[in-house]
Amino acid sequence: MIEAKNLTKRFGKQLVFKDVNFTINDGDFISLIGPNGSGKTTLVRIMMGLEKKTSGELKMNHKRIGYVPQFRNIDLDYPLNIEQFVRLNLKFTLSPKRRKADNELIKTILTKTKLTQLKDRPLGLASGGEKQKAYLAQALLNDPKILILDESTASLDVEVKMQLMDLVAELNQKYNLTVIFITHDYE
| Residue 107 pLDDT class (50, 70, 90 cuts) | very high
What string of DSSP letters covers the chain?
-EEEEEEEEEETTEEEEEEEEEEE-TT-EEEEE--TTSSHHHHHHHHTTSS--SEEEEEES---EEEE-S-----TT-S-BHHHHHHTTSPP---HHHHHHHHHHHHHHHHHTT-GGGTTSBGGGS-HHHHHHHHHHHHHTT--SEEEEESTTTTS-HHHHHHHHHHHHHHHHHHT-EEEEEES---
Kindly state the average pLDDT of the residues 172-178. 92
Is residue 135 over pLDDT 70? yes
Residues 6+ apart with CB under 8 A from 94: none
Q: What pLDDT does 137 receive?
A: 93
In this structure, of 33-37, 112-116, 151-155, the range with the lowest mean pLDDT score is 151-155
CA 60 to chain centre: 17
Kindly state the average pLDDT of the residues 45-74. 88
Q: What pLDDT does 71 receive?
A: 66
Q: What pLDDT does 139 receive?
A: 92
Q: What is the CATH number of the domain that holds 167?
A: 3.40.50.300
Q: What pLDDT does 163 receive?
A: 86
Q: Model pTM?
A: 0.85
> How many domains, the chain?
1
Q: CA 20 → CA 33, 77, 146, 174, 184, distances in Å?
A: 14, 44, 20, 30, 18
Q: Please write the tens of the pLDDT for every residue from 30-59.
A: 999 988 888 998 999 999 999 999 999 999
Is residue 128 over pLDDT 90? no
Which residue segment(s) compose the domain that 40 sits in? 2-183
Which percentage of the chain shows pLDDT scores above 90? Answer: 57
